[in-house]
Every structure is written in structure tokens, then in C-alpha cells.
Amino acid sequence: MRTIPIRATLGSSWREIATRPRLLLAAKAAVAASAAWLLVPLVPFADAKYEYYAPVGVVISMYPTLARSAWSGLQTLIGLAIGIAVGLGLGIEMLILGVPSVVVVGVVAGVGMLLGALRVLGVGRDWIAITALFVLLVGGGGADDYSLSYLINLGFGMAIGVAVNLLVFPPLSLRKASERLSTLRDMVAGHLRDLADAFTHGAQGSEQLDVAMDRLVATADAVRTEVREANESGKGNPRGRGHRGQDEENYGRMRALERTIFFVRDLADVLATLEHVETVADPSADDFSALARRDLATAIERTADLVATPKGSEGSEDRLIAADNAVELLVHSLDEHAAGQPSAVANDLAATVALRRIIEASRPFVE
């Protein structure tokens, strides 16, 4: 089994930490935590000895996007309220009734974990059991005052966190997502060219191509996540005004690339099958096979050129015409020989279908 060097792992982790968005988030969390600690003495109805929960609330609510900060903060407050209800309404009442503390702790923890299965609460469900135990074990005889202070101070910290996230460079990653989509587009086009080259030289179905395909799919998954986060970063973000068109364009490009990758994989399977098809007993079979191989490789290359074309770039319509013509030429060659031996060109025809689907996925961005 292949092992990953520790030095390489640490280097990769450091690069993730040292990214600009992460450093900005850390700086905002530091500012917000300090502000919460400075201002929390002014908060009414909360016991001063529990003021340390305010900076904790900041950390709980600090997410890369403004929408997630606000939504997660709300979910957490609901989870805290449910946890307090469990700790007070169940745990403390059981102690008053004389139930042994060891039993009460177990029951409160178990009920909190059961309620944590409520997916509708999102991140808030993780706080139900924790809060219930805090109320029971930390609050003790003053559980009512503790619960109120706990909820108020945490809520105050969350509000500070969301406010800082809103006022200090609220993140907007639409441009970054667009750049990542362009990188993915170039990877798809490059893989198509590799398929054409491998098919020309009889190397289709190699392990190298399989690894490249897996890497392409993994990259597409990562880019899909970035596009979704970019969309989220624009919600409620004053910097997102006027960028709605870019958001919709990113989603359209992502859907088109996902369809393209699907048919690229289908095309790769067809080409691998063609490598193993035996030549039919026909005097002209060898000549036709060479002609079909040349036309199919050309069609793949022209389609790759089309996929690689940025939206609105000069010559994009010419590339679209070239791809259409290359596929039409391939189909014409196949039609001439299909009458006498339809089964001999079945896989070639399947390849043309995949190429047509890829062209159609790219068409809206080049016409």
C-alpha cells in the first residue's frame, strides 16, 4: 500500500492554513472575540462570572460565508435552548425527585444524543447534549441563572461574530469559483486530447488514462463544492449586489462540465471497447478501420478544442463549426460502410453520440 510522506502531508496542511480566505477568517475571529470580551459586561440579565461564553459564541458563529454564519448561529441558539430545556426540565427535576445523580447524568446525556438526530437543526443539534450536561453539572443549584447567562452570553458572542463578518470584508468567492471552473474546463479538454492521442497510437484503456479520469472526477467534485460555496457567499452579502449574473453563469458552466465529464467517461469506455474488437472478415476492413480511426481521432481533437474555448472568445464559432463538421465527416464515413456490416461500426456510432452530447453541452457558451 502506498504511503504519503509526513513532510508532504504537513506541507499540504500548511498551505491550507496559509490561504488568504483562512487568514482573513482568523483575523476577523480574533477581532470579534476581543470585541465580545470587551463589550459583554454591558449585557444585561447575565451573570458576570459567565462572561467567557461571549468569545466562545464568536467562534461558534464564525464561518467563511456570511449566510452560513447567520444560519448556523440561529441553529445553534435553537440547539442551546433545547439543551437547556433538557437539562432543566428533565435533569434538575429528576434530581429534585431524588433520582441518583449517576442515573440522571446518563439519562440527560442519552436524551440529548437522541435529540441530536434532528437533522433540521443542522449544527445546532451537536449542542443539545453538551448544553444539557453543562446546565446539569456546571449550573448545579443555580441552574436557572446559569442557563440564562449561558444563553445570553453565547448569543451575544454569535451576534458580534455575524456583525464582524458582515462589516469587515464579507467574503465573496464568485470570481474564484469562475477561475476554478476554467481550470476544470481545461482539464476536460486535455483529457479529451489524451484520449485522441491514445486511440491513435493504440494505447486506449491504459492505467494512466484511468488515473487521469479519476483525478478529473475528483477535481469536478471539489469545484462543485466551491461553486456552491460561492453562491452561498453572495447571499445577504452587500458585495454580492450586481454579481447575480456571474453566479448563474457559474452554475450553468458547472452543469455543462458535469454533463461533459459524464460523456467523456462514456467515450473512453467506447474507445477501450474498440481496441478489443476483432477485424471483420472483409477485404476492405483494414482500410476502413484505418479511415475510421483517423476520422474519430480528428473528431475528438476538434471537440477538445471546442471544450477548451472560453466564453465569448474570438474564433469560438469557428471551433464549434469545426467540431460539428468533424463529427459529421465521421458519421458520413460510417454510413457508407454501415449498410453492408452494421455491427462493424456500432461502437464508432456510439462514440459519435458521446461527441455530439459533449458538443451540445458546450454550444451555449460559444454561440
Report pLDDT digits (tens) over 126-159: 999 999 999 999 988 889 999 999 999 999 999 9
CA–CA dist 272, 281 (Å, integer): 21
Contacts for 280 with CB less than 8 Å, ≥ 6 apart: 341, 343, 344
pLDDT band at residue 289 using 50, 70 and 90 as cut-offs: low
CB 226 within 8 A of CB 176: yes
Instruction: Please name which of 147, 158, 128 lies closest in space to residue 55, comparing C-alpha atoms.
Output: 158
CA distances in angstroms from 41 to 48, 138, 259, 341, listed in the order given: 7, 21, 56, 87
pLDDT in tens, 78-104: 999 999 999 999 999 999 999 999 999
CB 136 within 8 A of CB 92: yes
Average pLDDT of the chain? Answer: 85
Is pTM beyond 0.75 here?
A: no
Q: What is the mean pLDDT of residues 21-43?
A: 93
Can you read off the three cell numbers belonging to residue 219? 477535481
Residue-by-residue DSSP string for 264-318: HHHHHHHHHHHHHPPPPS-TTHHHHHHHHHHHHHHHHHHHHHHHTPPTT-TTHHH
CA distances in angstroms from 181 to 48, 109, 245, listed in the order given: 50, 45, 15
pLDDT of residue 279 exceeding 50? no
Comparing 83-87, 97-101, 183-187, 197-201, the range with the smallest average pLDDT is: 197-201
Contacts for 212 with CB less than 8 Å, ≥ 6 apart: 191, 194
The shares of helix, strand and coil residues in the chain, as percent rounded to the nearest 5, are 80, 0, 20
pLDDT in tens, 292-350: 788 899 999 999 999 999 987 888 899 999 999 999 998 887 777 655 555 556 677 78
pLDDT band at residue 1 using 50, 70 and 90 as cut-offs: very low
Q: What is the mean pLDDT of residues 214-237?
A: 87
CA–CA dist 276, 204 (Å, integer): 10
pLDDT band at residue 38 using 50, 70 and 90 as cut-offs: very high
CA–CA dist 89, 87 (Å, integer): 6
The radius of gyration computed from the CA coordinates of the chain, to the nearest angstrom, equals: 30
pLDDT band at residue 240 using 50, 70 and 90 as cut-offs: low
State what percent of residues in the chain have pLDDT above 90: 54
pLDDT of residue 63 exceeding 50? yes
